[in-house]
Chain A
Amino acid sequence: MNSLHEAFGQAAALVASGDATLIEIVLLSLRVSLTAVLVAALIGLPIGAAIAVGRFPGRRTLIVVLNALMGLPPVVVGLLVYLLLSRAGPLGALGILFTPTAMVIAQTVLILPIIAALSRQAIEDAWSEYQEQLRSLGAGRLSAAFTLLWDTRFSLLTAVLAGFGRAAAEVGAVMIVGGNIDGVTRVMTTAIALETSKGDLPLALGLGVILISLVLILNAAAYLTKEAAQRRYG
């Protein structure tokens, strides 16, 4: 309990000090994870919608695989992206290993299945309710998919938030492809891992408190937005 108490003190002191390194780490964490969420949502939501309303061979297998991929281990994703981006790898020529871009790619791969699988479920539920009406109005599957994406937007926000939570919390993937380089690719989770191994538990816990607080604030804001919008739109 003592070290927890100390940790909150340390976190408060850290935030209050406005330490430039800390701010840099926090901002990089947010930048990497939010970019990954944006990219994963842009790709994953349409995939979810397409699987939800589509009829094609192998659809059920695809759903099972997608659901299973939600549990992808971050270190494995990190390793795969590392192999792709390493100098000898197929994308080695890009020279982006150990940069924030590589971290964005790894996190995007990690959370894409989460966003696609959760949005598939939400859109498919809506589709069973809307299907007859939309078909009666003359909507084809493509336009139905776009209609459903917009109409389930509040549920999809939850899917996107789940993706963000996963991205912000993971350490394995960004550690491998980012390298935890001070001032370049060090984010909150890798800093926590480093400080823990160095024995600076209060600092590690302090960073942890900041990380959890940020995720909490973002979720609270999203929840309130969703609630207000739902009250208005039903």
Chain B
Amino acid sequence: MRAPSSILPLVLESVSFVAGGRAIVDAISCEIGAGSRTVIVGPNGAGKSVLMRLCHGLLRPTSGRVVWRGVGTAAIGRRQAMVFQRPVMLRRSAIANLEYALALQDVARADRTRLAREAIERVGLGHLAGRSARVLSGGEQQRLAIARAWALRPEVLFLDEPTASLDPTATREIETAIAAIHACGTKIVMTTHNLGQARRLADEIFFLNQGRLAEHAPAERFFTAPATAEAAAFIKGELPWT
């Protein structure tokens, strides 16, 4: 599925992020490769969201390096997109929010309309295209955020707790959309503290605990035979750190 000029793998070299004297991300080294769905799990405050922002480039590491190792890395920003826990929609119609994102990437006007339309249909919101984005429900806004990210045709899609504030129905719709995007060949990297969701979506698991990468394993092995006591405790729902 990968284009020959893939920007992946993404390599983290001893990346730390310190804020207020506390290492929120503590010397993490890892490699995120193409293809699979990578899910970052861990308790609240483990540093999942910060790690994701470091990968996406919204934050600069205090020390260490975040490197896209693939070729054709001239325009990294355009080849990765991110969906946040709370989507921020502009005060304009749903479809105009998608067109706005495309315009920022210098997509020609004629293509914008077509790509935006395709993306909004893909998440099942075609009938709400003309509605103002900010009056949509939380679940609809999050699907719209996914459509907005997808319209950019990113090679890597980061999702930070995309269903944390949604009800089960909306969560299912989001998971379906994520699966569809992955099926189209986009690399998925997401965080969640919902283990059920991690089981449903993950190919590989990064387990974060107190800013450190405690375990990195294929999803099946992580859930059936976790290598560390921390991970085992997290899976069992016994959280010694709370």
Contact = CB atoms under 8 A, between A and B. Distances in A.
Q: Do A and B interact? A: yes
Interface of A: 129-130, 132-139, 143, 147, 150-151, 153-154, 232-234
Contacts, number: 47
A151 B91 contact: yes
B135 A133 contact: no
Contacts of B74: none
B91 A233 contact: yes
B92 interface: yes
Interface string B55-91: 0101000000000000000000110011010011011
Interface of B: 53, 56, 58, 77-78, 81-82, 84, 87-88, 90-92, 100-101, 104-105, 132-135, 148
A8 B81 CA distance: 63
Contact of B134 (A150, A153, A234): A234
Nearest to B59: A132
A158 to B, nearest CB: 15
Contacts of B78: 138
Contacts of B100: 137, 147
15 contacts: A132-B84, A133-B84, A136-B58, A137-B101, A138-B77, A138-B78, A143-B104, A151-B90, A154-B91, A233-B91, A233-B92, A233-B134, A234-B132, A234-B133, A234-B135
Pairs of residues from A and B, 10 with the lowest C-beta to C-beta distance, nearest first = A234-B134, A133-B88, A234-B135, A233-B91, A233-B132, A136-B82, A138-B104, A137-B101, A151-B91, A137-B104
Nearest to A143: B104
